[in-house]
Amino acid sequence: MTPASDTLFIIGSGFTKAAFPQAPLNADLLRAVVKHGGSTLARYHERYRTDDIERLLTQLDLDAIESIQNREDRVKINREISSYFSKFRFSELQQPAPGWLHTFALNVLKPNDAIITLNYDCFLEGALDNYEVWTPNGGYAGIVNPNANSIPVNPKNIMIYKIHGSEHFVESSVMGDNRTQTAIGFKIDGSIFPKSGPNRQLGGGAVDPRPYIIAPSFVKIPHVEIADIMLEALDQVETAKNLTIIGCGMRREDNFLWLLLTRFLNKSFAQRKQLVILGPSSTATWERISNYWVGNVQRFADVVVIPCGIECSIERLCSALDNMER
């Protein structure tokens, strides 16, 4: 059983963008993938005539119900998105790494903390592996690589929940009689994990491997292994003292995040809790949360709004969490 976490983090695209200014937010993603060589996505961009990738993929998902070709193209688009996000790994970061990243890894994170990341890229994991506070051997909730035992075990039991999949996740058929069932694993190599991965090429799937991401669409049906880690995350947030949102706008259509927030606030009566919202759009995010919750959120939790990116507010984040005496 996973130990209870004092702090559960929700990390969005603003975290990666603080290190890679060229990294796209959701509104820029479609054009970025097309420019990177996403030829299948480019065809549907022309067909549906929208720059909103969520609208485009929702329409494609609906059309795919009746079309084998559309379903095959949907898989190709996932592959194109996955390939694009492989650009944003810790190994691609111009050295030296920014000071805020060092502080986040070594001072903000504490043993048994839980991180829900919405990002497809592996920048976060690569950074934590580099600072030797986390490894992929036991570091991903619910997702395993059977060869990971050859690397050091996750030292602080910091757990990462990649609820939208990842550019290095691999879905492959289960070996045996039932070839319709699939499982999710992940790749390990030095370009992804700078300390755990060098001189290793550990694949994530043996049979017909393909990337696994849940691309931005209003139609989101998670693999059973992803659904399982969502349930575990709900258990974690129920007992957490802090819910810390970094670089995430809490989009209205991301239903699971609102369910997570509801579980956190509904279980705040036994002890005082804290909600921290950090990012350039955190004021708008706080307003969205205030309008969602019936009554005054601050009756149930102390609220700290930090209206700037993590690169210029890491000390304020440290202070907010330390004040809760984790």
* Per-residue pLDDT reduced to its tens digit, 48-92: 999 999 999 999 999 998 899 999 999 999 999 999 999 999 999
Does one domain contain both 42 and 151? no
The residue ranking higher by pLDDT, 266 or 204, is 266
pLDDT band of residue 264 (cuts 50, 70, 90) is very high
Q: Does pTM surpass 0.85?
A: yes
On whether both 144 and 80 belong to a single domain, the answer is no
Both 287 and 253 in a single domain?
yes
Is 251 in the same domain as 140? yes
Q: In this structure, are 284 and 223 located in the same domain?
A: yes
Determine the pLDDT at residue 206.
61
Task: Please choose, from the candidates 89, 76, 24, 93, the residue with its C-alpha nearest in 3D space to the C-alpha of residue 213.
Answer: 76
Residues 4 and 153 in one domain: yes
5 and 50 share a domain?
A: no
Q: Which of 34, 61, 85 is the last residue of a domain?
A: 85
- Whether 147 and 5 share a structural domain: yes
Condensed to tens digits (0 to 9), the pLDDT of residues 128-167 reads 999 999 999 999 999 998 888 889 999 999 999 999 999 9
* pLDDT at 325 (0 to 100): 61
List, in sequence order, the alpha helices (H) in 21-179: 29-35, 39-48, 53-64, 68-85, 99-103, 123-130
Answer yes or no: is pLDDT of 320 > 90.
yes
Q: Are residues 108 and 222 in the same domain?
A: yes
Helices (H), 170-223: none
Asked whether the beta carbons of 96 and 60 are under 8 A apart, the reply is: no
Domains: count for the chain: 2
C-alpha–C-alpha distance, residues 9 and 11, integer Å: 6
Query: Across the chain, what does the average pLDDT equal?
Result: 92
Please report whether residue 178 resides in a domain: no
35 found inside a domain = yes
Same domain as 156, residue 104:
yes
- Domain-terminating residue out of 44, 60, 85: 85
State the Cα–Cα distance between residues 71 and 73, nearest whole angstrom.
Answer: 5
Domain housing 62: 26-85
Give the tens place of pLDDT for each residue, 181-221: 899 999 999 999 999 998 776 666 667 788 999 999 998 88
- The pair phi, psi for residue 261, each rounded to 5°, is -60, -40
Which residues on neighbouring strands pair with residue 170, listed in sequence order?
A: 185, 211
The verdict on 225 and 79 lying in the same domain is no
Q: Report if residue 277 sits inside a domain.
A: yes
Say what the pLDDT of residue 149 is: 87
Alpha-carbon distance of 219 to 202, in angstroms, equals: 32
CATH number at residue 105: 3.40.50.1220
